[in-house]
Amino acid sequence: MKKLIKFQFVLLVILVIFTSTDGKTETNKIILSEQGSFAVGGTININPGSFDPYNPTTAGQTFHGDHAYVFYQIPENSRKLPIVFWHGAGQFSKTWETTPDGREGFQTIFLKRSFGVYVIDQPRRGNAGRSTVESTIKPSFDEQLLFGMFRIGIWPNYFPGVQFSRNPEALNQYFRSMTPNIGLFDTNIVTNAVSALFTKIGPAILVTHSQAGGPGWMTAIKNQNVRAIVSFEPGSGFVFPEGEVPSPMPSATGTLEGISIPVGEFEKLTKIPIILYYGDNIPEKPTKSPGEDNWRVRLAMAKLWRDVINRHGGNVTLIHLPELGIHGNTHFPFSDLNNIQIADLMSEYLHEKGLD
């Protein structure tokens, strides 16, 4: 029996090496059968009255807004399930494209690994800027704060061994990879649009980052075409069954609370494999560094969330990368210097779960 397990383990390692090597050493070519973009979901508002094309006013005109914008690429001989990539707060599709230091991001890495890829700008963000609500956008001086919140370091110092390039141009690209909300962030609007995407494209794997974590669970509850979720550093929107919400968790950046939903809704999340990845420099005990303390409670909440789902029969894995001996990751493991290693972990997981 022990021998059989050992044999299976060796087989797995070989498989993993093969998968991994495919990703790393694949020729530099990308062979696409199709690519393009579309808007999906959204609403149409109609202004009362009658439109006169020879004397136009706003009367009788329409406004299409609150859709998501999606850029997709389908490789030759693609795998069965494509991957939908959903950015975090302040970010847009760029987060999955070229990394701040100019290497391939998950969009291209997983394309080369033969997955169809769909990269989203959620409603009211980036190219999906046609918002149905009015909004005033002020440039705010926030970059040194974000350097800390995104756990690159404690400004102006980088964390020792952090997986982020010291080239100043990398930081320039990083700061320019943000774009504001155009109109309030609205969970219902963003999940409706992403659910509409899954209805349009059929079964797929959802990959979320940070703020998209919570809306990601809600999308999976809304739409059974979400066949698995890979969530990088989900930070909020942890949903729990009524009566099982954990105590609020105070931190240096505020108090994190779970969200109560009916158990029947919650249990839809037990039907699909879900994996969460967290990077480095997340302490276990309170600290006065806001960026680190912020993620302390979010990781702690995520662990409780995993436990509650799994108690209800779910299939949630939480990987805190340093526990695997993988150090230095920031809030963006998928674009960090070791993002091929992180992609390999994700490929292994998808393979284990029969999702590739």
Residues in the chain: 356
Residues 6+ apart with CB under 8 A from 18: none
Task: Decide: is 56 part of the binding site for a second copy (CB under 8 A).
Answer: yes
* Residue 148 vs 203, nearer CB to a second copy: 148
Binding to a second copy (CB under 8 A) within 168-187 occurs at 172-173, 175-180, 182-183
Specify the stretch interacting with a second copy by CB under 8 A; choose among 135-143, 219-227, 271-279, 312-320.
135-143
Q: From residue 3 to residue 42, what is the string marking binding to a second copy with x (rule CB under 8 A)?
A: -------------------------xxxxxxxxxxxx--x
Task: Decide: is 71 part of the binding site for a second copy (CB under 8 A).
Answer: yes
The Cα–Cα gap between 199 and 125 comes to 21
Considering only 12, 133, 184, 324, the residue that binds a second copy (CB under 8 A) is 133
Binding to a second copy (CB under 8 A) within 238-267 occurs at none
* Residue 8 vs 58, nearer CB to a second copy: 58
Quote the least distance from Cβ 65 to a second copy, whole Å: 6
Q: Please, what is the Cα angle at 101 between 98 and 106, to 5 degrees?
A: 30
Q: Are 68 and 219 in contact (CB under 8 A)?
A: no
* Residue 67 vs 306, nearer CB to a second copy: 67
Specify the stretch interacting with a second copy by CB under 8 A; choose among 60-68, 231-239, 262-270, 336-344.
60-68
Question: Which of 34, 31, 51 is CA-nearest to residue 108?
Answer: 31
Judged by DSSP in three states, 96 sits in helix
The Cα–Cα gap between 330 and 335 comes to 9
Binding to a second copy (CB under 8 A) within 92-111 occurs at 92-94, 97-98, 102, 104-105, 108
Q: Are 206 and 216 in contact (CB under 8 A)?
A: yes
* Residue 30 vs 249, nearer CB to a second copy: 30
> Rounded to the nearest 10 degrees, what angle do helices 2-25 and 339-352 cross at?
130
The Cα–Cα gap between 70 and 196 comes to 11
Give the interface size with a second copy as a residue count (CB under 8 A). Answer: 77
62 forms bridges with which residues in the sheet?
Answer: 46
Residues 6+ apart with CB under 8 A from 255: 248, 249
Q: What tokens appear for 49 in the block?
A: 């009255």
* Residue 10 vs 32, nearer CB to a second copy: 32
Specify the stretch interacting with a second copy by CB under 8 A; choose among 18-26, 160-168, 285-293, 294-302.
285-293
Task: Decide: is 201 part of the binding site for a second copy (CB under 8 A).
Answer: no
250 forms bridges with which residues in the sheet?
Answer: 255
Quote the least distance from Cβ 104 to a second copy, whole Å: 7
Binding to a second copy (CB under 8 A) within 76-95 occurs at 76, 92-94
The Cα–Cα gap between 282 and 320 comes to 9
Considering only 19, 22, 63, 310, the residue that binds a second copy (CB under 8 A) is 63
Considering only 15, 24, 51, 248, the residue that binds a second copy (CB under 8 A) is 51
The Cα–Cα gap between 75 and 77 comes to 6
* Residue 127 vs 236, nearer CB to a second copy: 127
The Cα–Cα gap between 218 and 241 comes to 13
